[in-house]
Amino acid sequence: MRMEFEENIDAKSGRPGEEYNMHAHRFNLGFYMKLAATNLYKNGKAYIPYLLTCIFTILMYYVMGAIARNEGLQEMRGAETMRSVMQVAMIITGIFATIFLLYTNSILIKQRKKELGLYHVLGLDKGNLARMLAWESVYTAVVSLVAGILGGIVLGKLMFLVLLKMIQIPVPLAFSIEMSAVVESVELFVGIFFLSFLWNVWQVGRTNPIELLHGSQEGEREPKTKLLATAIGILTLGFGYYIAQVTDNPLSAVSNVFFAVILVIIGTYAIFMAGSIALLKCLKKWKNYYYQTKHFTNVAGMLYRMKQNAVGLANICIMSCAVLSLISVTLSLYLGAEDILQTRYPRDYTGYVYQAEEERVELEQQIVKEEAERAGVEIANRVSCHIGSITTLRDENHLLGELDDSQPNLDSIYGVYVIPIEDYNKAEGKSESLETDEVLLYLPEGSFSQETLWIGETEWKVKEKLETFSLEKMSEGMGLKMIWLVMDSKDTIASLAAQYGRLWSDSFFYKDTFDLVGDAKARESAWQSISQRLSGELGNVSSYWQEERRESYYISNGGYLFVGVFVGTLFLVGMVLIIYYKQISEGYDDKARYQIMKKVGMNRREIKSTIHSQVLTLFFLPLGMAILHIAFAFRMFGQVLKAFSLSNTMLEFYCTAGTAAVFTLFYIGVFFLTSREYYRIVR
């Protein structure tokens, strides 16, 4: 192939006569195809890493897409949240892939300007060059898409098997080929390759042949301080951090996560690209600092390098964040399963009787009593009450002020739980009484300063604001902010719930919780028959057994942990590849520079320590930034966890800190490996 190509060129440029007249536009299709293939082959040293990067990015994107659509995952508890998290992750990966691949391509085409200039001089006009470049893009796209998606399928299956084995969680997950994920990956990456192609054509089009010939010799300019970009970086980053700090509602957390993440990504890129240069320039102006042996070459070297590598460093930072957040959140979720369980199902048995009319509740009591006696177990720690549940907006002392479906402010959504005075008295051991227009009010978080409360158009007198409330545990712990009200009768509550309940879960129901004491088998059979009789004789009930719930929690939360570890590992592998490739290619760049310094009088030890501190800074800049991001995201992750009924800040902290520590250790390992390689090259 190569020989034929060279003959072609000879025919064009060398010999006058018939062949010489063969004008450029008459080259046939095969010519461009061969030429493009030869180019890629000859530029292998630069192209293979690029191709590998493309393949890996596609692989990553496809695998994420496939997981988001995984059937096993769809059936899990909280699948909705999980799916939106995965969707956020995919969008982030998409943005990331676009920036990264376009950037890599632009460096590649810059290096190749000389070669393209040569073709131009030899007789290919710009149109011909564009056709050649088009074929190159087609090859790159086809090879990397096929390899990426096939690799994604194979690697996905493999990692599923290995990881599932490793975590030892009985997760009902299997990795399958998702056609829609394939289509989505192809669409995105064909788009990216097309943009790259347009960029290349534009680059070739706007430069004249002489410039093309000299293209790669163009000296590196010293980077300019970009104040605007720095400011944008600081602002977006600050705003992202701010959002993460003020999000105190689990429902809005997921959508805010998305916004904050986008802002922080933009901020990270801007800070690395512009802010770091501004900082280094300041250091350079500080003469007593700059002109010191250990800072001199480092500051100048980094300033020079920052421009080339800011994007690479930002990528590493963002990938680190992805790894850290995915693993720490899913780990918290897994380790917190017991916590969640205790919040939602504090007793052995938790049952709901909907449409809590007198006779239905009595029948429930009777069934529970009969079956417990028959199985020979005792009922203990029984807590039960009637609850009217209304999910609504709160505006100070107005509930249901103006609830329209258009744009609820998620922060003002409250879960209002209303219980009758008799249940309250029974639980607290009191004998309070209420008039028909009076309520007792309990607010777990925040304060209530008014004396009256409006529900819709009705005004209620707040007879007392309660300090403690033992029935608090009867809430569902869905992460909503709560208001507890005590009213005079069940009828009042039932009619309120019927009138104002908006969500499917809003109704007037009877919640019964208790432990069963006795032989394990007997307890199990008692629960089985209670549950059977309730649904058979009563209908419109639901009942849960803690043991059974525990198992299902560990399965679904184990599934999340699995997804977190899986995607985290994927990002980690990508990150290590980027770091390694970056260090090695820089090593070849820096080799000549260190030779000069040696000649001017730098000894081996000084060179080694300079390299060490430079690589160290470049390595730990993104890690430090990533850890800072995670620290600011901590609160928001807490809110996301609340959406899964987990609110255990200490646990979350240990999981996050532990993940960060392990990650840092791993990172240090990669650092030593690559800096050793780097030193071997420049030595």
What is the contact surface with other proteins in residues (CB under 8 A)? 219-222, 287-288, 290-293, 296-297, 300-301, 303-304, 593, 596-597, 599-606
How far is residue 110's CA from residue 199's CA, in Å, rounded to a whole number?
11
DSSP code of residue 446: S
How far is residue 196's CA from residue 204's CA, in Å, rounded to a whole number?
12
Please report how close the Cβ of residue 680 comes to other proteins at its closest, in angstroms: 20
Please report how close the Cβ of residue 620 comes to other proteins at its closest, in angstroms: 21
| 362 alpha-carbon distance from chain centroid | 49
How far is residue 519's CA from residue 188's CA, in Å, rounded to a whole number?
60
What separation in angstroms does the CA of 199 have from each of 192, 205, 206, 405? 11, 10, 11, 46
Question: Nearer to other proteins by C-beta: 9 or 300?
Answer: 300
Question: Nearer to other proteins by C-beta: 312 or 351?
Answer: 312
Please report how close the Cβ of residue 25 comes to other proteins at its closest, in angstroms: 38
How far is residue 76's CA from residue 314's CA, in Å, rounded to a whole number?
34
Say if residues 671 and 575 touch (Cβ distance below 8 Å).
no
Say if residues 150 and 182 touch (Cβ distance below 8 Å).
no
Say if residues 571 and 60 touch (Cβ distance below 8 Å).
yes
DSSP code of residue 447: -
Question: Nearer to other proteins by C-beta: 277 or 623?
Answer: 277
What separation in angstroms does the CA of 83 have from each of 74, 80, 87? 8, 5, 6
φ, ψ for residue 314, nearest 5 deg: -60, -40
Question: Nearer to other proteins by C-beta: 176 or 617?
Answer: 617
Residue type, 588: Y
Please report how close the Cβ of residue 101 comes to other proteins at its closest, in angstroms: 28
Which residue shows structure tokens 């978080």? 445
Please report how close the Cβ of residue 290 comes to other proteins at its closest, in angstroms: 8
DSSP code of residue 177: -
Question: Nearer to other proteins by C-beta: 74 or 595?
Answer: 595
Say if residues 574 and 56 touch (Cβ distance below 8 Å).
yes
Residue among 669, 671, 663 nearest 320 (CA): 663
Please report how close the Cβ of residue 606 comes to other proteins at its closest, in angstroms: 7
Question: Nearer to other proteins by C-beta: 21 or 603?
Answer: 603
Question: Nearer to other proteins by C-beta: 446 or 601?
Answer: 601
Please report how close the Cβ of residue 278 comes to other proteins at its closest, in angstroms: 18
Question: Nearer to other proteins by C-beta: 292 or 535?
Answer: 292
Q: Which helix (H) or strand (E) holds 462?
A: strand 458-465
Question: Nearer to other proteins by C-beta: 120 or 582?
Answer: 582
Question: Nearer to other proteins by C-beta: 3 or 596?
Answer: 596
Question: Nearer to other proteins by C-beta: 602 or 628?
Answer: 602
Question: Nearer to other proteins by C-beta: 512 or 586?
Answer: 586
φ, ψ for residue 388, nearest 5 deg: -105, 120
Say if residues 481 and 326 touch (Cβ distance below 8 Å).
no
Question: Nearer to other proteins by C-beta: 12 or 281?
Answer: 281
Tell me the Cα Rg of the chain. Answer: 33
Residue 92 exposure: Cα atoms within 13 Å on the Cβ side: 26
Measured CA angle at 51 (ends 141, 54), to 5 deg: 70
**SS3 (DSSP) at 347:** coil
DSSP code of residue 475: S
Which residue shows structure tokens 């002109």? 291
Please report how close the Cβ of residue 172 comes to other proteins at its closest, in angstroms: 57
Say if residues 239 and 205 touch (Cβ distance below 8 Å).
no
Please report how close the Cβ of residue 305 comes to other proteins at its closest, in angstroms: 8
Please report how close the Cβ of residue 681 comes to other proteins at its closest, in angstroms: 17
Please report how close the Cβ of residue 610 comes to other proteins at its closest, in angstroms: 10
490-494's contacts with Cβ under 8 Å and 24+ in sequence apart are 490/356, 490/386, 490/420, 492/436, 493/386, 493/388, 493/418, 493/419, 493/420, 494/356, 494/388
Please report how close the Cβ of residue 596 comes to other proteins at its closest, in angstroms: 5
Kindly state the tokens that stand for 634: 């901590």
**SS3 (DSSP) at 123:** coil
Please report how close the Cβ of residue 301 comes to other proteins at its closest, in angstroms: 5
Please report how close the Cβ of residue 215 comes to other proteins at its closest, in angstroms: 14
Question: Nearer to other proteins by C-beta: 472 or 606?
Answer: 606
Say if residues 532 and 357 touch (Cβ distance below 8 Å).
no
How far is residue 558's CA from residue 551's CA, in Å, rounded to a whole number?
10
